[in-house]
Amino acid sequence: MISRVFSPSAAVRWRAAHRLTCSAPPGEEKPRPSMLRHLTSRIKATGPITVSEYMREVLTNPVAGYYVRNNMLGPEGDFITSPEISQMFGELLGVWTVSEWMAAGRPERLQLVELGPGRGSMAADVLRVFHQLRSVVGGASVSLHLVEVSPLLSRLQAENLTGGRSRQADAEDVPVYRRGETTTGLPVSWYRRLEDVPSGFSIFLAHEFFDALPIHKFQRTQRGWREVMVDVDPGNADQLRFVLAPSPTPASGSLLQADERRGHVEVCAEGGVVVQQLAQRIQQDGGAALIADYGHDGTKMDTFRGFKGHRLHDVLSSPGSADLTADVDFSFLRRMAGGGVACLGPVTQATFLKNMGIESRLQVLLKNCGDASTRQQLLASYDMLTSRSKMGERFLFLGLLHRSRLARPAGPAGLKLEKKSAAPLPVGGFTELSFS
């Protein structure tokens, strides 16, 4: 049975959510009083806040934050992600994970760490590959570690990954706030912060994680760079607006490159910190990280936007009721990773998935599927993931590897620009995997 396939109706919603024009859906609900009141009170007391502060409050405020209160994924939520479109996506990341573990010399312990795991769909698909290749990875002690700030999503992940075989910690201030075990006996742990994940050889996966981290926005003016701030509209106390800081801010003095040529720049300082943490851990303990997100290589300018009900949404309207996001600047992530690790990419999602064998996997699924409707949905999901006009080129993949990895004969799988140069996949790739 196919675990997840993509429907044409979902494709329509995804395309609508990625139009470049912004229009609020009809019947827009009134602003959620608690978050708007909290923000306006804070701004009136201390002055305009940065876009980074605004995003952090709106998304992760422990009382009224969007990620804390909402189930935002899937057709009934505000957006849909690649792991929810088709099982092939997570399976191919599972093959990449096993491939990197093998290339590192098959360490006895393997920690699979996912940042922002959504519903747990991708982790489930990756672990299914581990189970299918148990003759290869069976000698390793494998554990799953999930970094998740949303209590609601952590419960969904626990249900999907452990079937209720998990327990939340009694205290709220402990590093591991939930523990469980998968149906195949692998231990699962939940954390709110990456730094709480134990040290050791780890493969890190971050899919649509960095785009939700707070950004600073800067505008070039005749007086130099000025940071974009969020203020209360003087003509309407219940309305927020963007303003420019009258003078340089600490962020504008420290986050901008001296040779920057764009007129508007978005910088995700928190993303830089996370990448530095990943690079340091890989350098010290071995392993690798794979970052997959929609983004650019230092070329785009104003990408800050909101999503609600699979449509674009005004980022300052109804704070706390919609997702806020910005395209990831992969050139910034590479720069912040430093020289201690090897950075490969970014390559497009289409390139990565085809290098990893998505076409072979699709043929296996089609061969084992006798239902015409499911076959059509499989083809639609493949098209959505790889098409140039859909997700194929909008999403990028960046790998962080231990520098010793590049000295091995087989290069890193998936991250080469040409398919013919991709590294051999374990057990011959998906043509020899029988799971459905």
Bridge partners (DSSP) of residue 144 are: 112, 188
Residue 293 has pLDDT above 90, yes or no: yes
* C-beta separation of 340 from 276 below 8 A: no
Which structural domains are found in the chain, ordered by start?
A: 8-16+70-214+268-432 (3.40.50.12710), 31-69+216-266 (no CATH)
Q: Which residue has the higher pLDDT, 433 or 304?
A: 304
Lookup result for tokens 């936007």: 305
CA 27 to chain CA mean position, Å: 30
pLDDT band at 410 (very low <50, low <70, confident <90, very high): low
Q: pTM of the full predicted structure? A: 0.86
Q: For residues 238 and 318, give the distance between their C-alpha atoms in angstroms, rounded to a whole number.
A: 10
Mean pLDDT of 341-369: 93
pLDDT band at 69 (very low <50, low <70, confident <90, very high): low
Angle between helix axes 372-386 and 358-367 (nearest 10 degrees) is: 170
User: What percent of the chain is predicted at pLDDT more than 70?
Assistant: 84
Lookup result for tokens 């990895």: 405
Q: What is the mean pLDDT of the chain?
A: 85
Residue 436 has pLDDT above 70, yes or no: no
Q: For residues 115 and 171, give the distance between their C-alpha atoms in angstroms, rounded to a whole number.
A: 22
B/e letters for 153-168, b = 16+ CB within 10 Å, e = fewer, are bbbbbbebbbeeebee
Residue of 70, 140, 139, 150 whose CA lies nearest to 112:
140
pLDDT band at 285 (very low <50, low <70, confident <90, very high): very high
Bridge partners (DSSP) of residue 294 are: 395
DSSP state of 170: S
Q: What is the pLDDT of residue 141?
A: 94
- The torsion region of residue 396 among left (phi > 0), alpha (psi -120 to 50) and beta comes to beta
pLDDT band at 59 (very low <50, low <70, confident <90, very high): very high
Lookup result for tokens 């189970």: 131
DSSP state of 177: E
Bridge partners (DSSP) of residue 306 are: 313, 324
Q: Which residue has the higher pLDDT, 11 or 175?
A: 175
Q: What is the pLDDT of residue 74?
A: 45
Mean pLDDT of 422-430: 41
Q: Using alpha carbons, list the distances in angstroms from residue 189 to 132, 144, 185.
A: 22, 6, 13
Residue 377 has pLDDT above 70, yes or no: yes
Strands 224-232 and 240-244, bridge-based pairing = antiparallel
Q: Which residue has the higher pLDDT, 407 or 231?
A: 231
294-331 per-position pLDDT tens digit: 999 999 999 999 988 878 999 999 999 899 999 999 99
Q: For residues 115 and 204, give the distance between their C-alpha atoms in angstroms, rounded to a whole number.
A: 8
Determine how many CB atoms are found less than 10 A away from the CB of residue 427.
15
Q: What is the pLDDT of residue 71?
A: 53
Strands 224-232 and 216-221, bridge-based pairing = antiparallel
DSSP state of 423: P
Residue 54 token pair = 């605004």
